[in-house]
Amino acid sequence: MNSQDAFQIFFYIVSLTLLALPLGSYLAATLEDKSRFQSRIFGPVERSIYRCCGINPGGQMNWKNYTASLLWFNFLGFLAVFLLQLFQHKLPLNPNNSGPVEPVLAFNTAVSFMTNTNWQAYAGETSLSYLTQMAGLAVQNFLSAATGVAVFAAMVRGLMGRKTSGIGNFWGDITRVTVRVLLPMSFCAALILAGQGVVQTFKPDSRVKTLEGVEQTIPLGPAASQIAIKQAGSNGGGFFNANSAHPLENPTPLSNFIEMLLLLLLPAACVFAYGKMAADKGQARILFSVMFAVWALGLAVSLYSEYSAASVTGGLGLMEGKETRFGIVNSVLWAASTTAASNGSVNAMHSSLSPLAGGAALFNIMLGEVIFGGVGAGMYGMLLFVLLTVFLCGLMVGRTPEYLGKKVEKREIQMVMAGILAPGAVILIGAALTCAVPAALASLSSKGPHGLSEILYAWSSASGNNGSAFAGLNANTSFYNIGLGIAMLIGRFAVIIPCLAIAGSMGVKSPSPPSAGTLPTDTATFGILLAAVIIIVGGLTFFPALSLGPVIEHLLMLKGVLF
Amino acid sequence: MKNATTALKLFLCMTVITGIFYPLVVWAGAQALFKGKAEGSLVRVNGVVAGSGLVGQKFSRPEYFWPRPSATGYDPMPSGGSNLSLTSAQLGAAVKERRKGFVRAEVPADLLFASGSGLDPHISPDAALIQCDRVAAARGVSKGDIIYLVNTVTEQRQAGFLGEPRVNVLLLNLILDGKYLK
């Protein structure tokens, strides 16, 4: 690592923080619908949407109504992507004559995009029509991100509410987030990306003859518009199979920087938006610091691991699976961020990272995608950990735990436990099941500990709604398509529903002023406790599995053992 | 049921806005501002498309600069990497085999390890420089001329600090073909 590398990381961190702060204020104003400036610009579009759909955006919903609306809306998204894939050969905008997608694979991909996971069992350039990509996948890129922000907003309203069962209007939240935040961001980013060489065309793939006379197909399509929201909405599903390692999806170091910035921008902005909405910047500062610290720790471990791998390669930089234009530092910075952010796009193949760097990526996902996490999803997941920490501290001092002046009681803690334990249980049960099914083991591409890592990564990625992969694993089989599909559903909705239930039960409570026994939640002490709870829950749950995968692979690599 | 019908209406509205309208507006903007880039940065030789300036091609003849190893053999349908780990015997054997193609003992890492996309259009400047002897001999020109050419084609870090210095193999080979007879 040289000074140029260090400067790139520094520049990334500074840009991210400086942009996330104002975007957080903007997002808070969107969610509270308080900004006159925003209403003036976007009001006309929104009003015509509301009129078209018969929506009263001010009509408050209780948590059950909010949840039902969300589930219907998501189910329709699933259905649309599923059907588009099955019938794409009969629909327009299919210049490359892609055939229908296998139903089981179509199920997996539809679930994957609805749940903001974007696991790629498909290869975009060979199996999907332009219509499926833009009107199916890209639409879910927007709407699943908007769903995440909506749940986050509803949860904050519940925490802040004073004896009210209303937690907002789901339709209004989805519309405002999409129209005011996601669309403008994506449009600007898409144009910059197109200027760097990301394709945006409806022409069929171009067949060329190379200088040495070989036929080569240059895949094309409306990629720039989709890549922008894929990065901004913590989706991560590539237009092409190689995702952002593909030179037509991420052609230059600048496009790489933009995509990498978008990857953490909205998740980080959500933290600052929380500070605004809760009228308590101290809370936001502590949460941001905790996220940043754990992210930086993962990055440091990964960098150390990548650069020290030179000792076993005979001094060579570990460039397997990485692109020349990005080099090692940008590949590792991306890997640490995309796994922290539940984005899951990749600009280097994670399976070929050095064992500990791959392990750090895996660990980031296992922590429950709360280190910035998905758009909205990271913050509502983080709030579950905050409530758990408050509860544990309450137990230690023997007082009823409180958060933002409200008592945290039995029902909330039951919901917190459900939301925190469900994804982890899916990872471990799924991985154990895979190890016991010979047909599932046949999909492995590696022997030894790396094979176990492939399995763990697949289940973690699905259940954490991340979507990146140790892609040596052949995941396009019925076992994985169905199993991982179910894991994605549980990983998404077994967190969302408890969060909305907490919003409902906290909203009807009335806050009381802090007393001498109240644990302040905006202090460094609380931050350290929170980080410890996150790492202990993640660490203790998965430590045995991780030690049999990445950790032992690292040790065997140092001894020169090959499989 | 009111939820379901509202959901359907809003979903259709959003599909039109984000799935049809948005990509069309980006398309119009990209076509107006960056037409060549939006259509794949295709490069032409005497009017015939010879490839994309962003997508690597396979080169194995001695008179050309060679690209990085590729898990897909530079076939973009579909793209992808080897996904092999450092503890894979297959990767170790592949690296050993690739080393044999070069005379010099010190081969840069990017010529021994396959890229992530399988389509990496670039090699590092070092990787280009160690091939100058071979290319110069095969084309019967002085090594100095070839080195000079490599240096002029080398792209520096973008904006002075982003990414890595690199050489676009296809563009370099196109210039070679234009400048010297095969």
Contact state of A242 with B27 under an 8 Å Cβ cutoff: no
For residue A49, give how far its alpha carbon lies from the nearest alpha carbon of chain B (Å).
Answer: 7
**Contact call for B81 and A471, based on CB within 8 A:** yes
Is B6 touching A (CB cutoff 8 A)?
A: yes
Q: Look at residue B101 in the predicted model and tell me its pLDDT.
A: 86
A320 touches chain B (CB under 8 A): yes
* Contact criterion met (CB < 8 Å) for B83 and A321: yes
Contacts of A331 (CB under 8 A, 6+ apart): A322, A323, A347, A348, A353, B116
Using a CB-CB cut-off of 8 Å, the residues of chain B touching A354 are: 86
Q: Tens digit of pLDDT for each residue in A442-464?
A: 999 998 999 999 999 999 999 99
Amino acid A311: pLDDT: 86
Say if CB B176 and CB B63 are below 8 A apart.
yes
Question: B168: buried, middle or exposed (CB in 10 Å: 19+, 13-18, 0-12)?
Answer: buried
Is residue A404 a contact partner of residue A160, using CB atoms and an 8 Å limit? Answer: yes
Amino acid at B117: S
How many other CB atoms are found less than 10 A from the CB of residue B93?
11
Pair B23, B76 in one domain: no
Q: Do A471 and B11 touch (CB under 8 A)?
A: no
Kind of pairing between the strands at A206-209 and B42-45: unpaired
| Pair (B46, B136) in one structural domain | yes
| Residues B96 and B47 reside in one and the same domain | yes
Q: What is the pLDDT along chain B (182 residues), one digit of tens a residue?
A: 789 999 999 999 999 999 999 999 999 999 999 999 999 999 999 999 999 999 999 999 999 999 999 999 999 999 999 999 999 999 999 999 999 988 877 899 999 999 999 999 999 999 999 999 999 999 999 999 999 999 999 999 999 999 999 999 999 999 999 998 66
Give the separation between CA B124 and CA B59, rounded to whole angstroms: 16
Give burial (CB, 10 Å; 0-12/13-18/19+) of A285.
middle
Mean pLDDT of A424-428: 96
Q: Indicate the residue type of B34.
A: F
Return the pLDDT at A2.
87
Average pLDDT, chain A: 95
Question: 3-state class of A165 per DSSP?
Answer: coil
How far is C-alpha A216 from the geometric centre of its chain's CA atoms? 34
* C-beta of residue A64 within 8 angstroms of C-beta of residue A504: yes
Verify that B11 and B60 share a domain, yes or no: no
Confidence of residue A518 (pLDDT cuts 50, 70, 90): confident
**Containing domain of residue B108, as a range?**
41-179
What's the mean pLDDT in A269-287? 95
The Cα–Cα gap between A262 and A168 comes to 27
Partner-chain contact A174 B14, CB within 8 Å: yes
On whether both B16 and B92 belong to a single domain, the answer is no
pLDDT at B106: 86
Domain shared by B31 and B45, yes or no:
no
Q: What span, in angstroms and rounded, lies between the C-alpha atoms of A516 and A514?
A: 7
For residue A54, what are the CA distances in angstroms to A67, A359, B21?
19, 49, 21
Is the confidence at residue A1, as pLDDT, over 80? Answer: no
Check residue B182 and give its pLDDT: 60
Which positions in chain B touch A318 (Cβ < 8 Å)? 86, 109, 113
Min Cα distance B31 → chain A (Å) is 8
Q: What share of chain A in percent tops pLDDT 70?
A: 100
Q: In chain B, which residues have their Cβ closer than 8 Å to the Cβ of A125? A: 76-79
B38-42 contact pairs (CB < 8 A, 24+): B38/A194, B38/A199, B38/A200, B38/A201, B38/A224, B39/A199, B39/A201, B39/A203, B39/A206, B39/A220, B40/A199, B40/A201, B40/A206, B40/A218, B40/A220, B40/A248, B41/A197, B41/A251, B42/A206, B42/A208, B42/A218
Question: A-B interface: how many C-beta pairs under 8 angstroms?
Answer: 354
pLDDT band at A530 (very low <50, low <70, confident <90, very high): very high
B62 and B26 share one domain? no
A358–B contact, CB cutoff 8 A: yes
Its pTM stands at 0.97
Query: In the structure, what pLDDT confidence band is assigned to residue A27 with cuts at 50, 70 and 90?
Result: very high
A554 interfacial to chain B (CB closer than 8 Å): no
Total domains, chain B: 2
Residue pair A171/B10 in contact by the 8 Å Cβ criterion: yes
**Interface touch A445/B83, C-beta < 8 Å:** yes
Same domain, B48 and B112: yes
pLDDT in the model for residue A513: 86
Both B6 and B66 in one domain: the answer is: no
If you count them, how many residues does chain B have? 182
The single-letter code of the amino acid at B65 is F
- Verify that B28 and B105 share a domain, yes or no: no
Do residues B75 and B139 both lie within one domain? yes
Query: Which residue, among A131, A206, A129, A157, has the nearest Cα to A28 in the 3D structure?
Result: A157
Contact assignment for A241 to B80 by CB distance below 8 Å? yes
Does one domain contain both B27 and B51? no
Question: Is pLDDT above 90 for A517?
Answer: no
CA A184 to each of CA A43, A67, A360: distance values in angstroms, whole numbers, following the listed order: 14, 27, 33
A188, two tokens:
């600007």
Instruction: Please list, in sequence order, all residues whose beta carbon lies within 8 angstroms of the beta carbon of residue B161, skipping any fewer than 6 positions away.
Output: A4, A7, A8, A11
* Span A195-224, average pLDDT: 97
Pairing of strands A402-403, A406-407: antiparallel
Q: How buried is residue A3: exposed, middle or buried, by Cβ count under 10 Å (0-12/13-18/19+)?
A: exposed
Q: A12 to chain B, minimum CA–CA distance in Å?
A: 10
CA distance B111 to B99: 8
Upper half-sphere CA count for residue A351 (Cβ side, 13 Å): 34
